[in-house]
Amino acid sequence: MSIKLIINADDFGVSSTVNQAVVTAHDEGILTSCSLMVGGDACDEAVALAKARPRLSVGLHLTLVCGKSVLPPTEIPHLVDGQRQFASNPVIAGVRYFFDPRCRAELRREIRAQFERFLATGLPCSHVDGHLHFHLHPVVFPTVAACAAAFGVRFVRLPRERLWRNLAIRRQGWPVKVGHRMVFGWLSALATRHLRQHHLRAVDEVHGLYETGRFTEDYWLALLDRLSAAPQEVYCHPEVASPMLPAHNAQGPAELAALLSPQVKARLRQRHIQPVTYADLS
Protein backbone atom coordinates (compact mmCIF):
# COMPACT_ATOMS: atom_id res chain seq x y z
CA MET A 1 0.00 0.00 0.00
CA SER A 2 1.13 3.54 -0.70
CA ILE A 3 2.05 5.98 2.05
CA LYS A 4 0.06 9.24 1.92
CA LEU A 5 2.21 12.34 2.41
CA ILE A 6 1.02 15.95 2.45
CA ILE A 7 3.82 18.22 1.18
CA ASN A 8 3.14 21.76 2.37
CA ALA A 9 4.85 25.14 1.99
CA ASP A 10 4.32 27.70 4.75
CA ASP A 11 4.29 31.52 4.44
CA PHE A 12 2.41 31.70 1.11
CA GLY A 13 1.53 35.36 0.64
CA VAL A 14 4.34 36.87 2.68
CA SER A 15 6.31 37.96 -0.42
CA SER A 16 6.48 37.52 -4.18
CA THR A 17 9.66 35.46 -3.85
CA VAL A 18 7.88 32.95 -1.61
CA ASN A 19 4.80 32.94 -3.85
CA GLN A 20 6.89 32.17 -6.92
CA ALA A 21 8.66 29.34 -5.13
CA VAL A 22 5.37 27.80 -4.04
CA VAL A 23 3.83 27.75 -7.52
CA THR A 24 7.08 26.53 -9.09
CA ALA A 25 7.33 23.70 -6.57
CA HIS A 26 3.72 22.79 -7.32
CA ASP A 27 3.90 23.11 -11.11
CA GLU A 28 7.26 21.39 -11.55
CA GLY A 29 7.89 19.56 -8.30
CA ILE A 30 6.21 17.58 -5.56
CA LEU A 31 4.41 20.30 -3.57
CA THR A 32 0.72 19.59 -3.00
CA SER A 33 -0.32 22.15 -0.40
CA CYS A 34 0.48 25.56 1.08
CA SER A 35 -0.53 27.77 4.01
CA LEU A 36 -1.63 31.34 3.30
CA MET A 37 -0.72 34.38 5.44
CA VAL A 38 -3.82 36.50 4.85
CA GLY A 39 -2.12 39.60 6.29
CA GLY A 40 0.96 39.21 4.11
CA ASP A 41 2.10 41.91 1.71
CA ALA A 42 1.72 39.56 -1.27
CA CYS A 43 -1.52 37.88 -0.19
CA ASP A 44 -3.59 39.11 -3.17
CA GLU A 45 -0.96 37.82 -5.58
CA ALA A 46 -0.91 34.48 -3.77
CA VAL A 47 -4.68 34.12 -4.00
CA ALA A 48 -4.63 34.79 -7.75
CA LEU A 49 -1.86 32.23 -8.24
CA ALA A 50 -3.74 29.64 -6.20
CA LYS A 51 -6.99 30.17 -8.09
CA ALA A 52 -5.14 29.44 -11.33
CA ARG A 53 -4.02 26.11 -9.82
CA PRO A 54 -7.09 24.23 -8.56
CA ARG A 55 -5.01 21.19 -7.59
CA LEU A 56 -2.94 23.28 -5.14
CA SER A 57 -4.53 22.91 -1.71
CA VAL A 58 -4.50 26.04 0.47
CA GLY A 59 -4.90 26.39 4.24
CA LEU A 60 -4.73 29.28 6.69
CA HIS A 61 -1.32 30.14 8.17
CA LEU A 62 -2.56 31.98 11.25
CA THR A 63 -0.14 34.79 12.06
CA LEU A 64 0.03 36.30 15.56
CA VAL A 65 3.77 37.02 15.82
CA CYS A 66 6.52 38.03 13.37
CA GLY A 67 4.07 39.21 10.72
CA LYS A 68 1.16 41.55 9.97
CA SER A 69 -2.38 41.60 11.28
CA VAL A 70 -5.61 41.77 9.32
CA LEU A 71 -7.35 44.17 11.68
CA PRO A 72 -6.15 47.79 11.88
CA PRO A 73 -3.99 48.91 14.82
CA THR A 74 -6.85 50.92 16.30
CA GLU A 75 -8.79 47.70 16.92
CA ILE A 76 -5.93 45.66 18.41
CA PRO A 77 -3.53 48.24 19.90
CA HIS A 78 -2.02 45.79 22.39
CA LEU A 79 -1.04 43.31 19.68
CA VAL A 80 0.46 45.39 16.85
CA ASP A 81 2.24 48.67 16.13
CA GLY A 82 1.08 51.40 13.78
CA GLN A 83 2.13 49.37 10.72
CA ARG A 84 0.10 46.27 11.75
CA GLN A 85 3.28 44.48 12.82
CA PHE A 86 3.06 41.91 15.59
CA ALA A 87 5.92 41.52 18.07
CA SER A 88 9.08 40.05 16.61
CA ASN A 89 10.06 38.20 19.81
CA PRO A 90 7.84 35.12 20.17
CA VAL A 91 8.81 34.45 23.79
CA ILE A 92 7.87 37.94 24.97
CA ALA A 93 4.71 37.86 22.87
CA GLY A 94 3.70 34.49 24.29
CA VAL A 95 4.06 35.68 27.87
CA ARG A 96 2.08 38.87 27.18
CA TYR A 97 -0.69 36.96 25.44
CA PHE A 98 -1.02 34.65 28.42
CA PHE A 99 -1.11 37.22 31.20
CA ASP A 100 -2.65 40.36 29.66
CA PRO A 101 -6.48 40.14 29.43
CA ARG A 102 -6.48 43.00 26.90
CA CYS A 103 -4.35 40.87 24.58
CA ARG A 104 -6.67 37.91 25.00
CA ALA A 105 -9.74 39.85 23.88
CA GLU A 106 -7.89 41.32 20.91
CA LEU A 107 -6.49 37.92 19.93
CA ARG A 108 -10.00 36.49 19.69
CA ARG A 109 -11.03 39.30 17.33
CA GLU A 110 -7.90 38.99 15.17
CA ILE A 111 -8.11 35.20 14.89
CA ARG A 112 -11.71 35.37 13.70
CA ALA A 113 -10.81 38.19 11.29
CA GLN A 114 -8.08 36.04 9.71
CA PHE A 115 -10.55 33.19 9.19
CA GLU A 116 -13.01 35.64 7.66
CA ARG A 117 -10.34 37.13 5.40
CA PHE A 118 -9.49 33.64 4.13
CA LEU A 119 -13.16 32.89 3.52
CA ALA A 120 -13.45 36.11 1.53
CA THR A 121 -10.79 34.90 -0.94
CA GLY A 122 -13.19 32.25 -2.23
CA LEU A 123 -10.57 29.52 -1.80
CA PRO A 124 -11.51 26.31 0.04
CA CYS A 125 -9.63 26.17 3.35
CA SER A 126 -8.07 22.71 3.63
CA HIS A 127 -6.48 23.15 7.06
CA VAL A 128 -5.20 25.65 9.60
CA ASP A 129 -1.74 25.96 11.12
CA GLY A 130 0.23 28.81 12.65
CA HIS A 131 3.29 30.92 11.98
CA LEU A 132 5.92 29.65 14.44
CA HIS A 133 3.14 27.29 15.63
CA PHE A 134 1.58 30.12 17.64
CA HIS A 135 -1.84 28.62 16.99
CA LEU A 136 -0.92 26.13 19.77
CA HIS A 137 -0.55 28.83 22.43
CA PRO A 138 -2.88 27.85 25.31
CA VAL A 139 -4.72 31.18 25.09
CA VAL A 140 -5.00 30.98 21.30
CA PHE A 141 -5.89 27.37 20.51
CA PRO A 142 -9.43 27.26 21.98
CA THR A 143 -10.41 30.13 19.67
CA VAL A 144 -8.63 28.52 16.71
CA ALA A 145 -10.47 25.25 17.23
CA ALA A 146 -13.85 26.95 17.62
CA CYS A 147 -13.30 29.06 14.48
CA ALA A 148 -12.11 26.06 12.47
CA ALA A 149 -15.27 24.16 13.35
CA ALA A 150 -17.49 27.17 12.66
CA PHE A 151 -15.89 27.83 9.26
CA GLY A 152 -15.90 24.19 8.18
CA VAL A 153 -12.15 23.56 8.40
CA ARG A 154 -11.61 19.91 9.35
CA PHE A 155 -7.83 19.65 9.86
CA VAL A 156 -5.46 21.46 12.23
CA ARG A 157 -1.71 20.94 12.28
CA LEU A 158 -0.18 19.54 15.44
CA PRO A 159 3.65 19.52 15.10
CA ARG A 160 4.05 16.04 16.52
CA GLU A 161 7.33 14.63 15.25
CA ARG A 162 9.38 11.71 16.51
CA LEU A 163 12.66 13.14 17.74
CA TRP A 164 14.54 9.86 17.45
CA ARG A 165 13.76 9.69 13.73
CA ASN A 166 15.19 13.15 13.17
CA LEU A 167 18.31 12.49 15.25
CA ALA A 168 18.97 9.31 13.31
CA ILE A 169 19.40 11.55 10.27
CA ARG A 170 20.88 14.71 11.78
CA ARG A 171 22.20 15.06 15.31
CA GLN A 172 23.23 18.70 14.89
CA GLY A 173 21.48 21.03 17.29
CA TRP A 174 20.10 18.22 19.42
CA PRO A 175 19.78 20.29 22.65
CA VAL A 176 17.49 22.78 20.89
CA LYS A 177 15.56 19.91 19.33
CA VAL A 178 15.00 18.33 22.73
CA GLY A 179 13.63 21.65 23.97
CA HIS A 180 11.28 21.87 20.99
CA ARG A 181 10.13 18.32 21.62
CA MET A 182 9.24 19.12 25.21
CA VAL A 183 7.44 22.40 24.48
CA PHE A 184 5.53 21.45 21.34
CA GLY A 185 4.82 17.93 22.56
CA TRP A 186 3.14 19.42 25.62
CA LEU A 187 1.22 22.03 23.60
CA SER A 188 0.05 19.41 21.11
CA ALA A 189 -1.20 17.23 23.94
CA LEU A 190 -3.16 20.16 25.38
CA ALA A 191 -4.64 20.90 21.96
CA THR A 192 -5.87 17.34 21.42
CA ARG A 193 -8.75 17.82 23.86
CA HIS A 194 -10.05 20.79 21.87
CA LEU A 195 -9.74 18.85 18.61
CA ARG A 196 -11.97 16.09 20.02
CA GLN A 197 -14.42 18.61 21.41
CA HIS A 198 -14.89 20.25 17.99
CA HIS A 199 -14.61 17.03 15.94
CA LEU A 200 -11.42 18.19 14.22
CA ARG A 201 -8.59 16.04 12.92
CA ALA A 202 -4.78 16.09 12.74
CA VAL A 203 -2.38 13.72 11.01
CA ASP A 204 -0.27 11.46 13.21
CA GLU A 205 3.11 13.00 12.41
CA VAL A 206 4.31 16.30 10.96
CA HIS A 207 7.91 16.71 9.80
CA GLY A 208 9.60 20.10 9.85
CA LEU A 209 9.82 21.20 13.48
CA TYR A 210 13.43 20.10 13.91
CA GLU A 211 14.67 21.11 10.45
CA THR A 212 12.97 24.45 9.81
CA GLY A 213 14.88 26.12 6.99
CA ARG A 214 17.03 23.02 6.47
CA PHE A 215 14.76 20.67 4.53
CA THR A 216 17.36 20.01 1.87
CA GLU A 217 17.62 17.19 -0.66
CA ASP A 218 19.81 14.97 1.51
CA TYR A 219 17.40 15.25 4.41
CA TRP A 220 14.42 14.49 2.17
CA LEU A 221 16.06 11.32 0.83
CA ALA A 222 16.93 10.05 4.30
CA LEU A 223 13.48 10.85 5.68
CA LEU A 224 11.57 9.17 2.87
CA ASP A 225 13.34 5.90 3.65
CA ARG A 226 12.09 6.08 7.26
CA LEU A 227 8.41 7.05 6.93
CA SER A 228 5.79 4.89 8.59
CA ALA A 229 2.52 3.96 6.90
CA ALA A 230 0.19 6.49 8.57
CA PRO A 231 -0.75 9.70 6.69
CA GLN A 232 1.80 12.40 7.48
CA GLU A 233 2.79 15.96 6.56
CA VAL A 234 6.05 17.62 5.65
CA TYR A 235 6.14 21.40 5.82
CA CYS A 236 8.94 23.54 4.45
CA HIS A 237 9.75 27.13 3.47
CA PRO A 238 10.79 27.42 -0.20
CA GLU A 239 11.74 30.75 -1.73
CA VAL A 240 13.30 31.86 -4.99
CA ALA A 241 16.57 33.78 -4.82
CA SER A 242 16.25 37.46 -5.73
CA PRO A 243 19.04 40.06 -5.97
CA MET A 244 16.44 42.82 -5.63
CA LEU A 245 14.38 41.65 -2.66
CA PRO A 246 15.49 40.63 0.86
CA ALA A 247 15.20 36.93 1.60
CA HIS A 248 12.41 35.83 3.92
CA ASN A 249 14.23 32.53 4.46
CA ALA A 250 17.97 32.37 3.72
CA GLN A 251 17.76 28.63 2.99
CA GLY A 252 14.62 29.00 0.89
CA PRO A 253 16.36 28.37 -2.47
CA ALA A 254 17.84 25.11 -1.15
CA GLU A 255 14.43 23.99 0.09
CA LEU A 256 12.93 24.85 -3.30
CA ALA A 257 15.66 22.84 -5.05
CA ALA A 258 14.78 19.83 -2.90
CA LEU A 259 11.11 20.05 -3.90
CA LEU A 260 12.19 20.06 -7.57
CA SER A 261 14.85 17.35 -7.17
CA PRO A 262 14.62 14.40 -9.62
CA GLN A 263 16.22 12.22 -6.94
CA VAL A 264 13.49 13.09 -4.43
CA LYS A 265 10.78 12.43 -7.04
CA ALA A 266 12.35 9.05 -7.83
CA ARG A 267 12.56 8.13 -4.15
CA LEU A 268 8.85 8.90 -3.71
CA ARG A 269 8.05 6.45 -6.51
CA GLN A 270 10.44 3.80 -5.21
CA ARG A 271 8.94 3.93 -1.73
CA HIS A 272 5.34 4.03 -3.03
CA ILE A 273 4.76 7.40 -1.33
CA GLN A 274 1.75 9.26 -2.70
CA PRO A 275 1.80 13.07 -2.44
CA VAL A 276 -1.69 14.11 -1.30
CA THR A 277 -3.56 17.02 0.29
CA TYR A 278 -5.63 17.31 3.44
CA ALA A 279 -8.74 17.18 1.25
CA ASP A 280 -7.66 13.74 0.03
CA LEU A 281 -7.74 12.49 3.62
CA SER A 282 -11.35 13.54 4.07
For residue 12, the surrounding DSSP H or E stretch is strand 3-12
pLDDT for 251 equals: 86
66 torsion bin: left (phi>0), alpha (psi -120 to 50), beta (else) = left
Q: Which fold has domain 3-281?
A: TIM Barrel (3.20.20)
Beta-carbon contacts of residue 14 (< 8 Å; ≥ 6 apart): 37, 40, 41, 42, 67, 248
Interval 36-51: pLDDT, tens: 999 999 999 999 999 9
Apex 158 CA angle, 34 and 79, nearest 5: 75
Q: Where are the domains of the chain?
A: 3-281
Please name the amino acid found at residue 69: S
Prediction pTM value = 0.95
Interval 48-99: pLDDT, tens: 999 999 999 999 999 999 999 999 999 999 999 999 999 999 999 999 999 9
Beta-carbon contacts of residue 31 (< 8 Å; ≥ 6 apart): 7, 8, 9, 22, 25, 56, 238, 259
The separation between CA 227 and the C-alpha centre of its own chain, rounded to angstroms, equals: 20
**Beta strand residue intervals within 151-216, DSSP E:** 205-207
| pLDDT-above-70 percentage for the chain | 98
pLDDT for 2 equals: 85
Interval 210-265: pLDDT, tens: 998 899 999 999 999 999 889 999 999 999 987 766 667 778 999 999 999 999 99
